[in-house]
Each structure stands twice: as C-alpha cells, then as structure tokens.
Structure 1
Amino acid sequence: MRAHTWLAPALITFLLALTGCAGPSVDQYQGNQPGFAPQEFFQGDLTAHGVLKNRSGDVTRYFNATIKANWKNGIGTLEERFEFDDGEIQYRTWTLTPTSDTTFDATAGDVIGTGTGATAGNALNLKYVLEVDYNDSKLALDVDDWMWRVDQRTVINQSTLSKWGFTVGTIQLVISKTP
C-alpha cells in the first residue's frame, strides 16, 4: 500500500495546476471604464493593425484591416478585409447576435459552430473555433479572444490560438474607430 502514497499529493498538484490554467474571467473588469458595448463600438468604419506570432513568440506576419460594422434589428455585422505583408488578402464577416445585455453569439464563415462572447466593464471575451488552412488541409484552432477598450476610439485585442490545449500562436492588434 505504501507504493500508492505518492498518488494523492500528485493528483492534488495536477488538479491545482489545471485550475491555475482556467484564465481570467471577464467579470474581473466589471468596474473598468470606458464601458465596452459591442453595439456602440462596432459601428461604422474601423481599422485594425496587428501582428501574428508563432508559439515561440516570434512575429511571423503583419497585417492591416478595414472593418465595416453595422447593426440592424439588434444583430451586428462586421465585414473585415485583412491585407497581410506578403500580399495575401482575407475576408471574414462576423454576425453578432445578443443573447442578453452582456452576452452574444458570434458566427463567421470560417468559424466552426457558434462562438460565445461576454462583456463586462471595458472588456470583451470571445471564444470560438477557427478553421485555418495549414499544409494543404484544414486545421481547427481554439481561439480565446480578449479585447479591452482603452478610450472612446481604441480597442486593444489579443487572441490566443491553441490546439489540444497547447498555444500555437497569438495575434495582437489595435482596432480604431475612423474619425
């Protein structure tokens, strides 16, 4: 029986490590200002400028994007056009459907299923599965997308891309309302 005396401490350590990986909650930003209401910020013309990083943190691509955003009958549409430093152009159109005052569903052509978003204070957290081209096939990546509104015209965005729980890359960008 003494051979199993290591099992309980090892299991407790493993469970504590998993709990530590849970990540922040959007609710911790509840008191932060300015408030982030997607219906208000994602309205009209916006621009985005950012970088893609690999799992080692090395920048692998740069991009600029334009976003045309509008809301009709309570549903948001964000039409995005990305231009990468190597000349590649990508398009994505998001549909944001509120499910409460602070939560919404999000869909796009290259998103598998429906993403879920939540806001609190100046923060927005969106989780979804993105299908990307990789080595002549499709790869499904889990995306944990965090946005923080820093003023009336600016949002800082960081996305963590993972596969099987391992981070494979990140995206960092700034989104600005066009004056």
Structure 2
Amino acid sequence: MKLAVLLCALVLLSACRSSVQSDEYQNMTPNIDVYDFFDGQVNAWGIVQNRSGELVQRFKVRIDGSVNDVGELVLDEAFTYGYGDGVKQRVWTIKNGNNGFTGNAPDIATTAVGTLYGNALRWQYEMDLPVDDTTYRVVFDDWMWAFDKCTLMNRSYIKKFGLVMAEVTIFMQNTEVSKGCTGALHP
C-alpha cells in the first residue's frame, strides 16, 4: 500500500513540471533577439493538442511587429483557423527590461514575463481561456527556440492546478527580405 501511494505521488509530482530546463540552452546559439525577430512581418502556423494528444485546433497567425516611439515592441496578431476556433486578434505590447521582458495584451489576465536563455526564451503568463460555455484561468508556459535569425519554434504548455492540460506547437518565420529571410517558408 505504501509503495502504491509513493508511486502515485511521484507520478503527480512529475506531471507538475515540464521537461524543459533553462540551463540547457544558456550557451546554445543562435541567441534570440526578440525585437529584431518580431520587427516586421512574421508568419506562424501551429496546432493545439489536448492532454490526450488529440488535435483540437489548427491555425495560422500573421504577426505584424513594430517598435513604437517609447521603445515597446507591438505585435498585432491575426489568427485564422483550419480546425477549431479561438481568438481572432491579439495585440501584445512588450517592454525590454533589465532582467528580460514583460508584456501585456487585452485578453491576457496577468503581465507576461519573458526570460532569455541563449537560444531560448521562456514566456509565462495567465489567461482566462474560454472553452465551450466555461472560462478557465490557465497558466501558459511558453518556450521559444531560435533555429536561425528567421525561424523560431514555440512549445506552450497550458496548465491548470500545475497539470498540463494542453500543448501548443507553433513554427514562426520572419518574412522580411531586408533581413535576408527570402527563403522563409510560408504557411
């Protein structure tokens, strides 16, 4: 009986932690330059899977990024869905601070906090997520990795009570010819 309780406790504890460890990426390159990558047009495409691994959304995002007069990065995201439904537009305002980034958007419940780790960026925030007729307060734990100066991959863990309830996988490519991103794939 004690062994069964111990095994259940270990399973629950391991489910509370994502497998991503920041120190693994600190010395990896290329480093992410958030302002440079998102300044201009970025095309993204991705999927959302529930905790059973089933596809619940497939989407594309056009991100128009610019730096405003006070040095904030503004990301105007327009979503289209091939499967499922969700938010149609989100506008982030991101500030570069001493220890990373902070960001806000109208449909995000808390200020997002971003920390750079070499070629990785961890972006965390809470959101009131509508599902059917109910809204749930969830925690987003996003990890972005730079492939090169034109391509990022994002893996988001959507958590409730510390448990991963869904996962989002997104690929992003900057399409600005002036940055040498002419070979970018288009969603």
TM-score (norm 2): 0.81
Question: Quick one: distance in 1 between partners of 2:117 and 2:167?
Answer: 23
Question: Quick one: distance in 1 between partners of 2:34 and 2:171?
Answer: 15
Q: SS in structure 1 opposite 2:128?
A: strand
Question: Quick one: distance in 2 between partners of 1:77 and 1:51?
Answer: 24
Matched, 1:145 2:142: yes
**What's the counterpart of residue 159 of structure 1?**
156
**What's the counterpart of residue 84 of structure 1?**
81
Structural mapping, 1:42-57, within 5 Å: 42-57=38-53
TM-score (norm 1): 0.84
Question: Quick one: distance in 1 between partners of 2:134 and 2:17?
Answer: 30
Count of residues in Structure 1 that have an aligned counterpart in Structure 2:
170
14, 37, 42: which one pairs with 2:33? 37
How far did 1:20 drift?
Answer: 8.9
Question: Quick one: distance in 1 between partners of 2:63 and 2:45?
Answer: 11
**What's the counterpart of residue 129 of structure 1?**
126
Q: SS in structure 2 opposite 1:85?
A: strand
Aligned-CA RMSD value = 2.6
Q: Check conservation: 2:56, 2:83, Cα contact below 8 A.
A: no
How far did 1:112 drift?
Answer: 0.7
Question: Quick one: distance in 2 between partners of 1:55 and 1:87?
Answer: 16
For structure 1, the 5+ residue unaligned runs are 1-5
Q: Check conservation: 2:150, 2:174, Cα contact below 8 A.
A: yes
Q: Which has the higher strand share?
A: 1
How far did 1:54 drift?
Answer: 0.7
Q: Check conservation: 1:94, 1:107, Cα contact below 8 A.
A: yes
Q: Tell me which stretches of 4 or more aligned residues in structure 1 moved more than 3 Å.
A: 17-25, 86-89
Question: Quick one: distance in 2 between partners of 1:91 and 1:26?
Answer: 30
For structure 2, the 5+ residue unaligned runs are 177-187
Q: SS in structure 2 opposite 1:30?
A: coil
